[in-house]
Chains A and B, each alone.
Chain A
Amino acid sequence: MHLYDLWFTLIAVLWVGYFFLEGFDFGIGVLTQLMARNHTERRVLINTIAPVWDGNEVWVISAAGATFAAFPDWYATMFSGFYIPLLIILICLIARGVSFEYRGKRSGDRWQRNWEQVTFWTSVITPFMWGLIFANIVRGLAINADKSYVGAIGDLFNGYAILGGFVTLALFTCHGAIFAALKTDGEIRERARKLAPVLGLVSLLLMLAFLLWTQVNSGNGQSLGVMIVSFVALLVAMFFNQLGREGWAFVFSGLTIVASFAMLFLTLFPEVMPSTLNPDWSLTVSNSSSAPYTLTVMTIVTAVFVPLVLLYQGWTYWVFRKRIAVHHIPAGH
């Protein structure tokens, strides 16, 4: 096994870790309008993720940074190729980040309602765009001999990629509903538990269409196995949700996200950005990676620091393990 094969796995782990973690906080953002009935309930939901969303978001910064270091060409082709979708994501992430911090910083209905709308829309659009981007990567893009994307913006909005966007949005929202059931108490918890199967069913149907399409187009034996895992995990999550075992339900809805994105990465390997113009122009792990020295340095850094990150981020979740109910929200804004 080459170092760049290992690095393909590590990059996949970072992206998948990002989708697992920020997946539910995007979901919570969507639910603030989909499920919360009033101002206080919206605050309950936001406060379930308030202490942790920032740490979750760093996973994408790490994923992008690690891609830059380990696969400069992958990073360059992906980020210049998806210029407009990434522009939209950037704007959303910037607006979303300040929306949490600034919403309660002033009283006044209009101010707060506006920031709540920002939280909602950015939580809808960002997962959709990530889904669209990764679906396009799997599908292949018009990449020329210089490793640059030369297609039009419109080409990125094809049926398969749009379906990928909706799958991601639905899955994250479902993951968020289960997280809400896990972290809240009282009536809102019951409602989240009842909403989860509905979102689960929508996700399942969309996933069936999208993942089967992927499997038929570019699947292999491994991806088939992982695809089945993702379906089963979602069903198991629904099962635990019905039993009221929200912790386990959350683990399995997370597993669904992990398996679905893992499947995408598996269908890619050993390519990282397939070219539709000429298979010889595709970016692969070997022709777009850094030299072994850089990969070695990065492997050491990752081996030391990622476990450490998991440790202290895990501790944060433990410190804020308490369920939040409407009566815990202090009056004021």
Chain B
Amino acid sequence: MELAIAHETIARWQFGMTTVYHFLFVPLSIGLGIIVAGLETAWVRTGKVKYFHATKFWGKLLLINIAMGVVTGIMQEFQFGMNWSDYSRFVGDVFGAPLAMEALIAFFFESTFIGLWIFGWHRLPKKLHLACIYMVTIGSILSAYFILAANSFMQHPVGYRIDPSTRKAQLTDIWAVLFQDTTLVVVFHTLTAAFLTGAAFVMGIAAYHLWRAKRGKDTNRQRISAMRSSLRCALVIAVVAGILTALSGDRLSKVMFEQQPMKMAAAEALWETQAPAPFSIFSVGDVGTGRNLIALEVPAALSFLAKSDFSSPVPGINTRAEEQVRQFGGTREEYIPDIFMTYWGFRLMIFFGMTSFGIGLLGLWLTRKKFWLDPSYRTGDDEPPTLMLTNKIAMNTFFTKWSWRIAALTLAFPLVANSFGWIFTEMGRQPWVVFHLQTTTDAVSPNVSMAEQITSLVAFSVLYAILAVVEVGLLIKYAKPGPDVDEQPPAKDPTLRPSAEDADKPLAFAY
């Protein structure tokens, strides 16, 4: 038993580490992908060279990022079999289907068309080239969809039965798995969060360049122009995506109150059933005695979050744990997830996500005059915007300085929010790997030795650490100089059948 727990612990560490790492790149790729697609659309439609430069600039950062997302994704697929073979045997019949669909339907799409997009700039007709980045984006969204459908089955199993002879889960309804409410809400929440992530990334880097321009450190008008359009585009996306993330998050928490009440009780450190239930702002709990030592609460707010009224009872951790003891046996403690991680994971997710949204909203308001109102307020297309407090008053130097800096410094906030979101949702499900069907301890590969597991954990920690340094280094290297404004767009629309002379020119882009 102790050995099984050690096995489980190492396997969980590896899963947690590789998943959080992988999920740094996925939402950024999705969000940045949409922005690049939008900017390229603007270029194709208007022919303005600033959109071309912006597309190329963000595209380069997207590629650095996508490369990591793709390669770390292989790890995710392989480790179900490597570390969690009993899980794979138990639910392969159900869980394998969306996973295989991801590869066949989504991932092929994404990775084939990304090659066409990278190398096709001077070889594909403009509109076809534009279609390629949309294919990549659609592929990555579909990819997220299928994976989240698979994960939602673990959170809330549907469309299956337990085969009486083999005691394994068997798929009975694929539509139920693909379209259950958990899947749909989670997909919506994750995608809007991904758009917010991409927007914050663009906001931060564009703000850095415009702040430089403001201080006269960069005077290239084309570069400023490209960054200004990027900033506005990102601010709008941040605000829209931020609102939708909050709305879908609220919907998701209601779904979870219904399907995984223990997770939400843990997220709120709500030990005893209360009616009306308060929303916790800060608490320090004690698992042993099953109560909070310190608690700062908003009365009745949790009832509203869970049930949309201010009086409904919300069952607490102790109540839920006892229910599970009656149903599955064992002790109360076994059924309580890590309260510290779920409680703070939930809060930090909301804090970091909403901060980015708030900064987007603030930025949109502060930069509004230059773009929408009276032409007398407008400066040239190639000037960094002045931050306006009101119609007439510009912000003073001190506030201006800090506004730009805050925008730049918060570019990674949604990444942190995403990570805590996953940590919360996965740890809040414990001790179950498939909710109420299989515990995580029962899911581990029984035949893999501790030495093998540790080798693997160490190897991936080292590899991922090295790659993180390389990745961040490259992102900074390419983000810092800004768009390459010397780069010329394809002179005429390329054709699929170039003349012999054109075909013999050096490649426009090569590895």
Q: Which of A106-132 contact B (CB under 8 A)?
A: 106
Q: Which of B106-121 contact A (CB under 8 A)?
A: 107-109, 111-116, 118-120
Q: Within the assembled complex, what's the spacing in Å between the Cα atoms of A322 and B507?
A: 11
Which of A52-60, A173-181, A209-217, A218-226 lies on the face that meets chain B? A52-60
Which of A189-197, A230-238, A265-273, A288-296 lies on the face that meets chain B? A288-296
Given A50-B115, A87-B455, A98-B67, the answer on whether A328 and B170 have CB atoms closer than 8 Å is no
Question: Are A301 and B105 in contact (CB-based, < 8 A)?
Answer: yes
Residue B380 is within 8 A (CB to CB) of chain A in the complex: no
Q: Which of B300-342 contact A (CB under 8 A)?
A: none
Residue A198 is within 8 A (CB to CB) of chain B in the complex: no
Question: Are B74 and A94 in contact (CB-based, < 8 A)?
Answer: yes
Least distance between A74 CB and chain B CB atoms (Å): 9
Q: Mark A62-95, 1 if CB is under 8 A from B, else 0.
A: 1011101111110111111101101100110111
Question: Are B452 and A153 in contact (CB-based, < 8 A)?
Answer: yes
- Neighbouring A residues of B171 by C-beta, 8 Å: 290-291, 293-294, 297
Question: Are B71 and A94 in contact (CB-based, < 8 A)?
Answer: yes
Residue A145 is within 8 A (CB to CB) of chain B in the complex: no
Q: Taking CB as reference atom, which chain A residue is nearest B446? A: A148
Residue B470 is within 8 A (CB to CB) of chain A in the complex: yes
Residue A97 is within 8 A (CB to CB) of chain B in the complex: yes
Q: Mark A269-299, 1 if CB is under 8 A from B, else 0.
A: 0000000000000000000001101100110
Question: Are A103 and B511 in contact (CB-based, < 8 A)?
Answer: yes
Least distance between A25 CB and chain B CB atoms (Å): 12
- Neighbouring B residues of A83 by C-beta, 8 Å: 82, 445, 448, 452, 456
- Neighbouring B residues of A81 by C-beta, 8 Å: 447
Which of B90-98, B208-216, B349-357, B368-376 lies on the face that meets chain A? B90-98
- Neighbouring B residues of A34 by C-beta, 8 Å: none
- Neighbouring B residues of A242 by C-beta, 8 Å: none
Residue in B70, B83, B123 whose CB lies within 8 Å of A54: B70
Q: Taking CB as reference atom, which chain A residue is nearest B473? A: A106
* Residues of chain A whose beta carbon lies under 8 Å from any beta carbon of chain B: 43, 46-47, 50-55, 57-58, 60-62, 64-66, 68-73, 75-81, 83-84, 86-87, 90-91, 93-95, 97-98, 100-106, 146-150, 153, 290-291, 293-294, 297-298, 301-302, 305-306, 309, 312-313, 316, 319-320, 322, 324, 327-330
Question: Are A106 and B77 in contact (CB-based, < 8 A)?
Answer: no
Q: State the main secondary structure of chain B at its contact with A.
A: helix
Q: List 7 A-B contacts (CB under 8 A).
A: A76-B445, A79-B78, A79-B85, A79-B88, A93-B74, A94-B74, A297-B97
Least distance between B111 CB and chain A CB atoms (Å): 4
Residue in B71, B81, B97, B507 whose CB lies within 8 Å of A93: B71
Question: Are A301 and B101 in contact (CB-based, < 8 A)?
Answer: yes
Question: Are B92 and A290 in contact (CB-based, < 8 A)?
Answer: yes
| Interface contacts beyond A83-B448, A106-B477: sample of 5 additional A-B pairs, CB < 8 Å, sorted by A | A60-B74, A75-B80, A293-B171, A301-B105, A305-B108
- Neighbouring A residues of B124 by C-beta, 8 Å: 319
5 shortest A-B CB distances, which residue pairs? A72-B92, A79-B81, A69-B96, A68-B96, A65-B100
Given A65-B96, A83-B456, A94-B72, the answer on whether A57 and B111 have CB atoms closer than 8 Å is yes
Residue B393 is within 8 A (CB to CB) of chain A in the complex: no
- Neighbouring B residues of A80 by C-beta, 8 Å: 81-83, 85, 445, 447-448
Question: Are A146 and B78 in contact (CB-based, < 8 A)?
Answer: no
- Neighbouring A residues of B105 by C-beta, 8 Å: 301, 305
Question: Are A294 and B67 in contact (CB-based, < 8 A)?
Answer: no
- Neighbouring A residues of B463 by C-beta, 8 Å: 91, 94-95
Question: Are A55 and B82 in contact (CB-based, < 8 A)?
Answer: no
Considering residues A78, A94, A106, which has the most beta carbons from chain B within 10 angstroms of its beta carbon? A94
Q: Taking CB as reference atom, which chain B residue is nearest A53? A: B115
Considering residues A60, A90, A302, A327, which has the most beta carbons from chain B within 10 angstroms of its beta carbon? A90
Given A55-B111, A105-B478, the answer on whether A319 and B116 have CB atoms closer than 8 Å is yes
Least distance between A323 CB and chain B CB atoms (Å): 9
- Neighbouring A residues of B89 by C-beta, 8 Å: 72-73, 76, 147
Least distance between B378 CB and chain A CB atoms (Å): 38
Residue B467 is within 8 A (CB to CB) of chain A in the complex: yes
Given A61-B107, A80-B82, A305-B104, the answer on whether A97 and B96 have CB atoms closer than 8 Å is no
Residue in B108, B508, B511 whose CB lies within 8 Å of A55: B108
Q: Taking CB as reference atom, which chain A residue is nearest B112? A: A55
Residue in A61, A97, A324 whose CB lies within 8 Å of B77: A61
- Neighbouring B residues of A149 by C-beta, 8 Å: 447
Q: Taking CB as reference atom, which chain A residue is nearest B175? A: A297
Residue in B70, B88, B505 whose CB lies within 8 Å of A68: B88
Q: Within the assembled complex, what's the spacing in Å between the Cα atoms of A55 and B136?
A: 12
- Neighbouring A residues of B68 by C-beta, 8 Å: 98
Question: Are B510 and A43 in contact (CB-based, < 8 A)?
Answer: yes
Question: Are B456 and A87 in contact (CB-based, < 8 A)?
Answer: yes
- Neighbouring A residues of B118 by C-beta, 8 Å: 50-51
Q: Taking CB as reference atom, which chain A residue is nearest B99? A: A65
Residue B474 is within 8 A (CB to CB) of chain A in the complex: yes
Least distance between B180 CB and chain A CB atoms (Å): 16
- Neighbouring B residues of A322 by C-beta, 8 Å: 503
Q: Mark B441-478, 1 if CB is under 8 A from A, else 0.
A: 00001111000100110011001000100100010011
- Neighbouring B residues of A86 by C-beta, 8 Å: 78, 82
Question: Are A58 and B507 in contact (CB-based, < 8 A)?
Answer: no
Q: Within the assembled complex, what's the spacing in Å between the Cα atoms of A106 and B477?
A: 9
Q: Within the assembled complex, what's the spacing in Å between the Cα atoms of A249 and B338?
A: 61
Q: Within the assembled complex, what's the spacing in Å between the Cα atoms of A66 and B112?
A: 19
Q: Taking CB as reference atom, which chain A residue is nearest B120? A: A319
Question: Are B75 and A94 in contact (CB-based, < 8 A)?
Answer: yes
Residue in B93, B467, B503 whose CB lies within 8 Å of A290: B93
Residue B496 is within 8 A (CB to CB) of chain A in the complex: yes
Question: Are A54 and B100 in contact (CB-based, < 8 A)?
Answer: no
Least distance between A63 CB and chain B CB atoms (Å): 8
Least distance between B166 CB and chain A CB atoms (Å): 9
Question: Are A97 and B70 in contact (CB-based, < 8 A)?
Answer: yes
